[in-house]
Chain A
Amino acid sequence: MATETTQAAGDGLADTVGVASQDAGSAPGMPQLDFATWGNQIFWLVLALIAIYLVLSRVALPRIAAVLAERQGTISNDIAKAEDLKRQAEAAEEAYNKALADARAEAQAISQRTREEIKAEVAEANKKADAEIAAKAAESEKAINEIRATAMENVEAVAKETALALVAALGGSADAKDVDPAVANRMKG
């Protein structure tokens, strides 16, 4: 029914435009509704679809899936490798920093030790020098004391003699036994 209506409409259009009535072979109006060609079209369509399906499902799709999977694998591998390298680089940096810190600490320790050694040496030398100085001072004191003692004796002797001479000069009878205790008394006071 629908076909006939369309056909009629098609014929009407054709008439107005000026087309001579068409032969039976070419479809009037819509060739889509010429059911004589449907069997042919459907046959070839099904064939084409089967061909495409076989080609896609047997060859193309597995291949593309494999390529995509492989690419994904490569990318994640590369990323993992890059991460690994980065970690290595970080470890190396850490090791370097540690070595640097160690070296610095050692240098510090060495300088500290040296400083202490030097200090100890200096202290030792000081002590020795002090001891020597003290010894020398003591010696000197002793010598001075001796000198002083002899000087005092000499002064006493001189004083006694002088006193004796003075007493004699003044006309007194000078006796060493009387003068000496007096002089010694005077010197003590």
Chain B
Amino acid sequence: MATEAHGGEEGGLVFHPMDQFIVQPLFGDGAINMFTVTNATLWLALTVLAVIALMVLGTGKRAIVPSRTQSIGELAYGFVYKMVEDVTGKDGVKYFPYIMTLFMFIVFANFLALIPMSFSTTSHFAVTVVLALAVFLTVTVLGFIKNGASFLGLFWVSSAPLALRPVLAIIEIISYFVRPVSHSIRLAGNIMAGHAVIKVFAGFAAIAVISPVSILAITAMYGLEVLVAFIQAYVFTILTCVYLKDALHPHH
């Protein structure tokens, strides 16, 4: 659709770096309502399938000496499990499946988005805001359930001088409520920016003189994006663990 919309202007230098993020129906081109199957739906489904392929099909043999795929699955398991255990402590381990779900979804969505012509689901605030809000609400509710009113001790820095504590409390509360904002914008922003930059470089490739430089730049950016894809998934997950730790043990 998007390409059709810009179909008229082929000559000259045209950038549409953001067009790759447009959500459009997969079949036909009607309006998008809640249940329309869109390109976002397709890539979310592919993400689910990729997770299943690695974690279920890859470990199907339950081999004592693992195959390569099973090794990667076990590596992912061990990576997230250790992260949860290290950051939140032993009592956080029961939330491991939820955190594993987050990590596997983000990491696969990010990597699938690196396939040319794909759609990057995690570049959309709709996705990351839901993820971040889910974490924020869960962690806040959990904090109150586990600790009752003493969860508010999280904002009362008892190690600071008494006069400073109200000020610090205000700062702590603000920073607490900024968490979901930064949590969601960090992920979507990184993915969106990287992909947009690659697209801009790709636009320059239309000029024959610059195209080698442009292709080199795309290659370099792509390498960086591979790194970012993993690091952002890691950052999102470890921040979730940190927030969970605050909910379980609010007293520093």
Stretch at the interface among B60-68, B142-150, B170-178: B60-68
Mark contacts of A43-72 with chain B using CB atoms, 8 A cut-off: 1 yes-contact digit, 0 otherwise.
111111101110111011101111110110
Asked whether, in the complex, the Cβ of B56 is within 8 Å of the Cβ of A32, the reply is no
Asked whether, in the complex, the Cβ of B34 is within 8 Å of the Cβ of A33, the reply is no
Asked whether, in the complex, the Cβ of B126 is within 8 Å of the Cβ of A63, the reply is no
Asked whether, in the complex, the Cβ of B126 is within 8 Å of the Cβ of A55, the reply is no
List the A side residues contacting B40 at CB < 8 Å: 37, 40-41, 44
Stretch at the interface among A14-22, A123-131, A164-172, A173-181: A14-22
Stretch at the interface among A23-31, A92-100, A136-144, A151-159: A23-31
B202 CB within 8 Å of chain A:
no
With contacts A17-B15, A40-B23 known, is A52 near B8, CB below 8 A? no
Asked whether, in the complex, the Cβ of B98 is within 8 Å of the Cβ of A53, the reply is yes
Q: Is the interface of B mostly helix, strand, loop or mixed?
A: helix
State which of A25, A32, A65 has its C-beta within 8 Å of the C-beta of B124: A32
Bound-complex Cα distance A48 to B134 (A): 14
State which of A29, A33, A37, A47 has its C-beta within 8 Å of the C-beta of B38: A37
With contacts A20-B9, A48-B48 known, is A26 near B1, CB below 8 A? yes
List the A side residues contacting B48 at CB < 8 Å: 48, 51-52, 55
Asked whether, in the complex, the Cβ of A52 is within 8 Å of the Cβ of B51, the reply is yes
Smallest CB gap from B96: residue in A? A61
How many residues of B are in contact with the other chain, CB < 8 A? 62
With contacts A45-B130, A61-B100 known, is A26 near B56, CB below 8 A? no
Bound-complex Cα distance A60 to B51 (A): 10
Asked whether, in the complex, the Cβ of B105 is within 8 Å of the Cβ of A52, the reply is yes
Q: In residues 1-16 of chain B, which contact A (Cβ within 8 Å)?
A: 1-2, 5-6, 8-9, 12-16
A30, A32, A57 — most chain B CB neighbours (10 Å): A32
Bound-complex Cα distance A19 to B125 (A): 25
B237 CB within 8 Å of chain A:
no
State which of B33, B55, B123, B126 has its C-beta within 8 Å of the C-beta of A64: B55
List the A side residues contacting B64 at CB < 8 Å: 67, 70-71, 74
Number of A-B contacts (CB under 8 A): 154
State which of A38, A53, A59, A64 has its C-beta within 8 Å of the C-beta of B101: A53
CB B32 to nearest CB in A, in angstroms, measures 5
With contacts A63-B59, A70-B64 known, is A36 near B32, CB below 8 A? yes
Bound-complex Cα distance A36 to B1 (A): 16
List the A side residues contacting B192 at CB < 8 Å: 30, 32
Smallest CB gap from A43: residue in B? B34
Bound-complex Cα distance A53 to B29 (A): 32
Bound-complex Cα distance A61 to B96 (A): 10
B220 CB within 8 Å of chain A:
no
Asked whether, in the complex, the Cβ of B55 is within 8 Å of the Cβ of A57, the reply is no
Asked whether, in the complex, the Cβ of B73 is within 8 Å of the Cβ of A64, the reply is yes
Bound-complex Cα distance A37 to B22 (A): 9
A146 CB within 8 Å of chain B:
no
Smallest CB gap from B14: residue in A? A17
Asked whether, in the complex, the Cβ of A67 is within 8 Å of the Cβ of B59, the reply is yes
With A52-B101, A55-B55, A64-B74 given, can you name 7 additional A-B contacts, CB distance below 8 Å?
A19-B16, A29-B18, A40-B34, A42-B127, A56-B51, A60-B73, A67-B74
Q: Which 4 A-B pairs have the closest CB atoms?
A: A60-B55, A41-B126, A37-B23, A57-B97
| Chain B contact residues, CB within 8 Å of chain A | 1-2, 5-6, 8-9, 12-16, 18-19, 21-24, 29, 31-36, 38, 40-41, 44-45, 47-48, 51-52, 55-56, 59, 62-64, 66, 70, 73-74, 77-78, 96-98, 100-101, 104-105, 121, 123-127, 130-131, 188, 192
| Chain A contact residues, CB within 8 Å of chain B | 10, 17-20, 22-23, 25-27, 29-34, 36-49, 51-53, 55-57, 59-61, 63-68, 70-71, 74
Task: Return 12 A-B CB contacts under 8 Å, by A number.
Answer: A25-B24, A26-B1, A26-B19, A31-B124, A34-B23, A37-B32, A37-B38, A37-B40, A52-B105, A53-B101, A56-B97, A64-B59
